[in-house]
């Protein structure tokens, strides 16, 4: 029972982190020592594994691990949606300050903690490109309607991809894309129809990311973190421009 409760609490805090821009759910998973197990579950869940037979497929899934974890995440995401909506409606300015500080701290942690500064200097170009991309989107130099079903699908894919990367916030990606508030509202109202394109995008991400992209990230994970840190830093204006 204590282990099951530990997984539930880990999932609960992962959910809170993932719905709060600037805080990485994967980082929280690492703190609770469930990150590798979660990624392994996503790999095992890939339908490609069904070719070996349904029994072998099911044996690869640790029910005692994943059920309390997912349950904790689901409950916290739903409850946090109300808290986030309340903060946006009543304390928007303070909420923006809080998010901005969290985002800057995330950048400092990714690039300067644990003697990472010397490594970060080698990837200054990646950091700068990340800032530029985020600023282009945040300042609406070009504008896409991410409430469109196809683009909302893309938003779900990108957000879930970010969720799998330690140090990167999936909800921050939604802020950058300008769809954060609408997703929060849909979660709060349990509007599955509105969320369907977003959910499909997340599903596509989980089919691709754990078995493919994460493998490439291992080749130079720090470069990826620096690039995403640039995105985080450059997207601070998005908090002030797109959260209303």
**Could you report the per-residue pLDDT of 163-182, keeping only the tens digit for each?**
777 666 788 778 777 788 88
Domain that holds residue 68: 2-242
Contacts of 54 (CB under 8 A, 6+ apart): none
The domain tally of the chain equals: 1
Q: pTM of this prediction?
A: 0.72
What percent of the chain has pLDDT above 90?
A: 9
Handedness of CA 9, 33, 199, 140 (dihedral sign): positive
**Could you report the per-residue pLDDT of 131-140, keeping only the tens digit for each?**
887 787 667 5
149-161 average pLDDT score: 84
Q: Which two tokens stand for residue 18?
A: 């993932």
Taking residue 166's Cβ as centre, other Cβ atoms within 10 Å add up to 17
């Amino acid at each position: 029972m204590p282990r099951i409760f530990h997984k539930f609490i880990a999932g609960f805090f992962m959910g809170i982190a993932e719905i709060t821009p600037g805080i990485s759910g994967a980082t929280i998973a690492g703190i609770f020592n469930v990150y590798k197990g979660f990624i392994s579950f996503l790999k095992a869940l890939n339908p490609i594994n069904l070719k070996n037979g349904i029994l072998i497929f099911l044996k690869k899934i640790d029910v005692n691990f994943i059920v309390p974890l997912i349950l904790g995440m689901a409950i916290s995401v739903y409850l946090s949606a109300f808290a986030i909506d309340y903060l946006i409606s009543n304390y928007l300015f303070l909420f923006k300050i809080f998010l901005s500080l969290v985002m800057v701290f995330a950048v400092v942690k990714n690039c300067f903690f644990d003697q990472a500064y010397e490594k970060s200097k080698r990837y200054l170009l990646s950091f700068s490109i990340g800032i530029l991309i985020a600023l282009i989107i945040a300042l609406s130099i070009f504008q896409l309607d991410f409430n469109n079903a196809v683009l909302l699908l893309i938003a779900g894919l990108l957000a879930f991809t970010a969720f799998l990367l330690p140090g990167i916030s999936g909800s921050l990606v939604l802020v950058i894309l300008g769809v954060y508030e609408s997703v929060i509202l849909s979660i709060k109202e349990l509007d599955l129809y509105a969320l369907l394109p977003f959910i499909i995008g997340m599903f596509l991400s989980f089919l691709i990311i754990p078995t493919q992209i994460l493998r490439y990230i291992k080749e130079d994970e720090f470069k990826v973190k620096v690039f995403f840190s640039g995105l985080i830093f450059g997207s601070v204006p998005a908090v002030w421009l797109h959260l209303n």
